Amino acid sequence: MKTRTESDSMGQIEVPKDALWGSNTQRSLQNFKIGTNKMPLELIHSIALVKKAAAYANFKTGVLSQEKKNLIWEICDEIIAGQHDEQFPLVIWQTGSGTQTNMNVNEVVAFRIQQKKFGDLSQKPLFVHPNDDVNKSQSTNDVFPTSMRVAAYKALHTKLLPQIKNLMTEFEQKAKEYGHIVRTGRTHMMDATPISFEQNLLSYYHQLKMGLNSLENSMSFLLELPLGGTASGSGLNAPENYDKIAIEYLKTETGFNFTPIACKSTAMAAHDAFVAVSASLKTLATIIMKIANDLRLLSSGPRCGLAEVRIPENEPGSSIMPGKVNPTQIEAITMVCAQVMGNDAAVTIGGMQGHLELNVFMPMIISNVLNSSNLLADSIQSFIVNCVAGMEPDEENMKNYLEKSLMLATALNPHIGYSNAAKIAQYANKNGITLREAAIANGVSESDFDKWVKPEEMV
């Protein structure tokens, strides 16, 4: 492999000849050969957007020339468009501040400008310097947490929230469509009093609504940005009003209501906002796990399970059992839920690592939050399209179970008392007959039973 020589305060280092990165990126590649998990591209693109905002603020405050601002903008736009994704090879498991990834972006911007302006990456000095120009008025300590917030808010707002709302809509519509059906309720996994299928579906809707509200509330903390705090929150080396100008630019560019955080060091030394968001994602995963497992049970069968709900048959389910079809979408989304819960544990531990003026678990935190958000968004969409949309009740089976249910005896309580109703239920179960037959055998008239026990009125 052909190389070129780059140098920094630590000396010289060989870099791949055509790579747009420099010495900082190369040293990280050599020093952190840990796993294969690369820094999320959503974060890289957000850092590039923050660099644009910083360049704009530096230009407006008179510390950066218009020519350099325009050049930085041009390359940042290329990065945001995904034109240089291969130039960001660093893994998550690096310095906990994300310094090497910040410098990776700074170097790619600077060397790409050099490439476009002179056509030769080895020519020195660089026309735009990674530290002095691209990173002007910044520190990794304020750029990285700002970019984390931008990336996370965008992913949650544009991908996950719409899918949650779509799933809510699906359950709401099916509740209206199947509102007339009454089925046997089950508590403790045992027969219980009747419930309408509408109530089942609306309970899922309201669970998801609670999860949505929790997530939206926690997301609001991500809108407060620490950009302008530089190294430790004091704003050293940043010109006056730099933070306000840069963040107003981010607000305009994204359409999100970003504002400067009141105490910049708060969002640099601690990441409670991400702990809160991750907790909301875990709550959502808990909700989805319950809903998916309900559908797993209700659709079990087709002949030896509950078989009260039919879900789409998407692919063969067994390599040995002909004709077997499995609830694969349910299995996929529940595995995602388990992963989100694991991610949350890591984020919680990461959130504890705010030592004095800086939290040094930032790459891991943002990687896990983005992973949870993206997995949930993708799996919910798949769950809707390949499972919930085609789901329908088996009314015949629901009716059969309802007629066999001994817990309809609960409707007899006000008329003959709990103890007598219990005796009738036990008699029916022991003799393998219906509750109606058992009631008549124990002195309840046919007309009274039919008048008192009406499942449709018990919901």
Task: List pLDDT tens digits, range 322-339.
Answer: 888 899 999 999 999 999
Query: To the nearest 10°, the Cα dihedral for 372, 375, 381, 385?
Result: -140
Confidence of residue 424 (pLDDT cuts 50, 70, 90): very high
Q: Is 16 helix (H, G, I), strand (E, B) or coil?
A: strand
Does the annotation mark 318 as catalytic?
A: yes
* 369 has a pLDDT exceeding 90: yes
- CA angle, 19 then 114 then 135, to 5°: 90
Minimal CA–CA distance to 156: which of 376, 347, 373? 373
Q: What are phi and psi of 180, to 5 degrees?
A: -85, -10
| 21 Cβ neighbours under 8 A, 6+ residues apart | 15, 87, 89, 104, 107, 108, 111
Beta bridge mates, 13:
6
Task: List pLDDT tens digits, range 36-85.
Answer: 999 999 999 999 999 999 999 999 999 999 999 999 999 999 999 999 99
Note the pLDDT of residue 318: 85
Domains of the chain by start residue, with CATH: 3-136 (1.10.275.10), 151-227+262-396 (1.20.200.10), 405-457 (1.10.40.30)
Average pLDDT over residues 185-204: 95
Average pLDDT over residues 422-450: 92
* 112 has a pLDDT exceeding 90: yes
CA distance 122 to 125: 9
* 123 has a pLDDT exceeding 90: no
Terminal-to-terminal C-alpha distance of the chain = 74
Note the pLDDT of residue 458: 87
Percent of the chain residues topping a pLDDT of 70: 100
* 317 has a pLDDT exceeding 90: no
Average pLDDT over residues 124-142: 97
Which one from 7, 122, 220, 318 is the annotated catalytic residue? 318
> Two tokens at 362?
């930032």
* 132 has a pLDDT exceeding 90: yes
Note the pLDDT of residue 163: 98
Q: Is 184 helix (H, G, I), strand (E, B) or coil?
A: strand
Which one from 188, 319, 419, 447 is the annotated catalytic residue? 188
8 A C-beta contact, residue 226 and residue 145: yes
Average pLDDT over residues 241-255: 98
Which uninterrupted H or E stretch holds 13? Answer: strand 11-16
- CA angle, 213 then 214 then 220, to 5°: 90
Task: List pLDDT tens digits, range 336-357.
Answer: 999 999 999 999 999 999 999 9
Residue that the structure tokens 């910040």 belong to: 102
* 411 has a pLDDT exceeding 90: yes
Note the pLDDT of residue 122: 85
Does the annotation mark 157 as catalytic?
A: no
8 A C-beta contact, residue 214 and residue 187: no
Confidence of residue 312 (pLDDT cuts 50, 70, 90): very high
Q: What are phi and psi of 354, to 5 degrees?
A: -90, 95
CA distance 457 to 416: 18
Higher-confidence residue: 134 or 314? 134
* 447 has a pLDDT exceeding 90: yes
Q: What are phi and psi of 308, to 5 degrees?
A: -90, -15
Average pLDDT over residues 126-136: 97
- CA angle, 176 then 180 then 181, to 5°: 110
Note the pLDDT of residue 296: 97
Note the pLDDT of residue 290: 98
